[in-house]
Structure 1
Amino acid sequence: MKSLMNSKFNGTLKVPGDKSITHRALMFGALAAGTTRIHYPLTSEDTHRTLECMCALGAEVEQKEGEWVVTSPGAAQLHAPAKTLYTGNSGTTTRLLTGLIAGLGLAAEIEGDESIAKRPMDRIQRPLAEMGADISLKDEKYPPIIIRPSRLSPISYTMPMASAQVKSAILLAALYTEGTTVIHEPSPSRNHTEIMLEQFGADISAEDGVIRLKGGNALSASDVTVPGDISSAAFPIVLAVLKPGSSITVENVSLNSTRSGILDVLEMMGADVRVEQTSSEGEAIGTVHASHTPNLKGFDISGDIIPRLIDEIPIIALLAAYSTEACTVRDADELRYKETDRIRAVIDELSKFGISFTEYEDGFTVHPGQVSIEENTPVKGYNDHRIIMMLIISSIISDTPIEIDDVSAIDISYPGFMEDLEKLRKEA
């Protein structure tokens, strides 16, 4: 990391493929009879867990350079796994897989790593149980998840909070029911599942926060092109905005409006960021140009915008530390149940750099002040990829090396992160 100190960062890059879209493409490819080609998938620990689970159910996945080829006999020919399905650190795999297997009427046990073992799964168990699923959890809340075969029925379900994972688990389970399942969202959450289900031929509609899916229609194999992940792009974008003399362009990145909340925050702050949409067919895709911007304004975000940037809040907290005004995030209590308690982790680690917070149960306020990092300050990454990358960016901006206990979790979402930063430095 020391080689990145005292540098400017300039150039163009493409970040790894979108993790959420890669997960879903593997699952829908496994459910659809025939061959699905996934172009530019994210090759990471999380997506490999989904790949392995789909193979355990009877699909085949050939991994080529820049392409994964999923060949499946179709949903009706998939089978119960021979052993426990291991989802590693992936909450998306764990929750969506539960809905998928319940919908297929198969028996399975699902477990993940120590982080997944602490993440609540009752939020998917409840609506799936309403559909007739037979699912058991440890202490009625946590993995391992035990699924027993049962016949499901469609439901009308009002989401207690916006959650793409819960919504997607219900939709996957509803694919093989007789009738129409209706989901009411209190606010928009990422809609990759709805977009891809339509692409694969499902009878689905979404309008004004109401999603309707008619079950009983077989999915058709379809090729998927995975754009760059806006959650990964957030790190070089914020680096460019905060690092004097820097200007970075991220190409071929997802601009899906249910995921692009960080771009709205940057606009609120007056950051020099320009967005160009290059494709609107299916997933919106485009280019983001970001340059150093002094005297950033504050922001106060809550409500509907939070699901649109929930994964970017750690790097948004760092962005807020360089604002000339107070910055507040509320309604983000879901962060308490991510890979770690991200609210607590952000506050504990950034406070070591002199950054002042007021903590709330559902968020925090970052108060304006001076960021001051002492060389080789020891910090914790919590085995959380987004916390680790945020800490690396903070070190680069301050030109001060820090000691992160373990950076290996970066590979969960952004393999090659350090190499990309080095490439931008060399082009400065």
Structure 2
Amino acid sequence: MIDLPSAHPLSARRGSPLSGRIRVPGDKSVSHRALMLGGLAVGRTTITGLLEGEDVLATARAMALMGASIAREDDDASGASVWTVDGVGVGGLAEPAEVLDMGNAGTGARLLMGVVATHPITALFTGDASLRKRPMGRVIDPLSRFGATFLARAGNRLPLALKGAAEPLPVTYRVPVPSAQVKSAVLLAGLNTPGETTVIEPVATRDHTERMLIHFGARLVRRQGDDGADVLVLSGQPELTGGPVRVPGDPSSAAFPLVAALLVPESDLLLEGVGLNPLRTGLFDTLREMGADLEVLNVREEAGEPVGDLRARASALKGVEVPADRAPSMIDEYPILAVAAACAHGTSRFHGLAELRVKESDRLAAIVRGLEACGVEATTEGDTLIVKGQGEAPQGGAVVQVDLDHRIAMAFLVLGMVSVEPVRIDDGRAIETSFPGFVDLMTGLGAHLTTEQETFA
């Protein structure tokens, strides 16, 4: 999403029970990685179900600028998108003639820096107003150890110039804080580095990169270190081979209609083909602890990723305490989980949320600010979020500032579906970065969403 000229307010109010059978957009994390590794593979990769949000399309444009041939084909029989990627091989990226504008794609930007860092090319990275505020130091530090050099704005922010290492050196890097983006950037840099690149991960984070590297033919070994940390060892300069990739439904996107179905009375919703990677299912476990009527059906595996169907029915939820070690498995779902907690009976405490301060916005601050505006008591103690659930519908009746953060935007629209008075978000443009068609999908299920300006008491 590239700095559109005007805001796009959206309102949500109580509507009908949510019912139906839906398929949410493809997993954003898997989509980014499929495009990058397909572009580094030899031969053709066919990607079915690619997320066609602005974040992923920014990655597609960037890979095309560096030599990969990327095209959208006709949808398959199920209506899923089909894309083809003809790769250039590991080490074959060309220097881009244009700036790589990553829009709002923090994952795309950080992972692509890993790819470029060990190619002998120079690339200029920028993004939209939100992405330009986000620090890149967490990947600049390890990627510099390969021999890459960076010239960035104050605070290691975009725009920045990256000069890849002509003769990259393998590194051993211990990830200082749980971050799949940092781990993945280092592993992707290791692809075009001779020898073995090692990543030590004290706390396990989502493993889409590892699964997809193996799917494309890389040699990656996981073992446990003496201190219990995961140790990942990647053999550099493999020949990756293109092939089919089916992208599962994004569990982070599924979270919004799923929680809405739990909260809106008499709802019964089936979400098909959702990714069930065990390092991404913390939200589902937490909702069950809160008393959610949530059922997993038809579990299978596609392109190395576990997939299943989710049935969610309206439920009376209770407050819960979530330990810090679960945060990496649901870090993107805390905005919508906070909405569920606001409607639950009793207090919820969510620990270990430092990562939320450096997302598309300071999500901790945004969650608290939005909930308080809607009449829900919420606060933070360090990196712990505390939400005092009312056991009934919140008052609502607020205009919530979302700071171009798609997850904050969708979370508070869900709150508006159950609150006493409507809730309006000041700008819904960012939703398209991860969940294109969100408004149409939700209204088709029975939600009442509108672009009209609401009148608040």
Q: TM-score, normalised by structure 2?
A: 0.89
Question: Paired residue for 2:185?
Answer: 169
Contact 1:167 1:183 in 2 (8 A): yes
Is 2:116 aligned against 1:101? yes
Is 2:126 aligned against 1:86? no
Q: C-alpha distance in 2, partners of 1:403/1:293?
A: 25
One-letter amino acid matched to 2:402: G
Question: Paired residue for 2:5?
Answer: none
One-letter amino acid matched to 2:351: R
* Structure-to-structure mapping, 1:379-394, within 5 angstroms: 379-394=400-415
Higher relative contact order (CA 8 A, sep 6+): 2
Aligned length: 424
Question: Paired residue for 2:455?
Answer: none
Contact 2:353 2:385 in 1 (8 A): no
1:313 Cα deviation from its structure 2 partner:
0.3
1:170 Cα deviation from its structure 2 partner:
0.3
1:326 Cα deviation from its structure 2 partner:
1.1
Is 2:260 aligned against 1:236? no
Contact 1:23 1:93 in 2 (8 A): yes
1:156 Cα deviation from its structure 2 partner:
1.3
Contact 2:396 2:416 in 1 (8 A): no
Q: 1:105 to 1:277 in 2, by over 3 A?
A: farther
Q: C-alpha distance in 2, partners of 1:339/1:187?
A: 23
Q: C-alpha distance in 2, partners of 1:307/1:123?
A: 16
Contact 1:111 1:145 in 2 (8 A): yes
Question: Paired residue for 1:263?
Answer: 284
Question: Paired residue for 1:111?
Answer: 126
Question: Which of the residues 46, 51, 65 maps onto 2:60?
Answer: 51
Q: C-alpha distance in 2, partners of 1:424/1:4?
A: 14
Q: C-alpha distance in 2, partners of 1:160/1:128?
A: 14
Q: Note the alpha carbon deviations across 1:191-247, whole angstroms, 9 max, x for none.
A: 100000001010112244211101021211121100100001001111111111011
Q: C-alpha distance in 2, partners of 1:24/1:277?
A: 25
1:141 Cα deviation from its structure 2 partner:
1.8
Q: Note the alpha carbon deviations across 1:150-174, whole angstroms, 9 max, x for none.
A: 2211111111111111011001100
Contact 1:353 1:371 in 2 (8 A): no
1:404 Cα deviation from its structure 2 partner:
1.9
Q: C-alpha distance in 2, partners of 1:254/1:171?
A: 22
One-letter amino acid matched to 1:73: V
Q: C-alpha distance in 1, partners of 2:369/2:66?
A: 42
Is 2:170 aligned against 1:154? yes
Question: Paired residue for 2:6?
Answer: none
Q: C-alpha distance in 1, partners of 2:238/2:370?
A: 49
1:352 Cα deviation from its structure 2 partner:
1.1
1:402 Cα deviation from its structure 2 partner:
2.5
Contact 1:127 1:157 in 2 (8 A): yes
1:90 Cα deviation from its structure 2 partner:
0.4
Q: C-alpha distance in 1, partners of 2:173/2:181?
A: 14
Q: C-alpha distance in 2, partners of 1:179/1:253?
A: 37
Q: RMSD value over aligned CA atoms?
A: 1.6
* Structure-to-structure mapping, 1:23-422, within 5 angstroms: 23-64=32-73, 65=75, 66-139=81-154, 141-150=156-165, 151-208=167-224, 209-280=230-301, 282-294=304-316, 296-369=317-390, 371-375=393-397, 377-398=398-419, 400-422=421-443
Gaps of 5+ in 2: 1-9, 76-80, 225-229, 448-457
Contact 1:118 1:142 in 2 (8 A): yes
1:11 Cα deviation from its structure 2 partner:
1.4
1:303 Cα deviation from its structure 2 partner:
2.4
One-letter amino acid matched to 1:267: R
Contact 1:355 1:371 in 2 (8 A): no
More helix by share: 1
Question: Paired residue for 2:22?
Answer: 13
Q: Note the alpha carbon deviations across 1:20-79, whole angstroms, 9 max, x for none.
A: 111100000110121111001000110110000001001111112310111123234321
**SS of match in other structure, 1:101:** helix
